[in-house]
Amino acid sequence: MDKNSEGFTLVELLIVIAILAIIVAIAIPRLTGYKRLAEERFCTANRKTVEKMYNAFLLENDMDNQSDFEQFLIENFNQVCPAG
């Protein structure tokens, strides 16, 4: 085989694969942290939406039971935070 032939050697390919593996090994834990943060923010947004719905329900029915929000949440919206 000619020394000036075009293409990559096996060593060059292995080095590139090793570098990509290192980058992936660093990136996966960071992405997991972002996923957890997004789930927490999603849950907080859902709770705020449900609380606004509850307050609207209280206003519509001329009720004043703000302290019962947690019970309302449990009875009607058991999946406010589906991520956990």
For the chain, what are the domain ranges?
37-77
The Cα–Cα gap between 83 and 32 comes to 13
CA 81/CA 15 separation, integer angstroms: 44
Which residue in 55, 72, 73 sits closest to 64, CA to CA?
55
- The residue type of 33 is G
* Residue 23's pLDDT band (cuts 50, 70, 90): very high
pLDDT band at residue 67 using 50, 70 and 90 as cut-offs: low
pLDDT at 78 over 70: no
Asked whether residue 31 carries a pLDDT value surpassing 90, the answer given is no
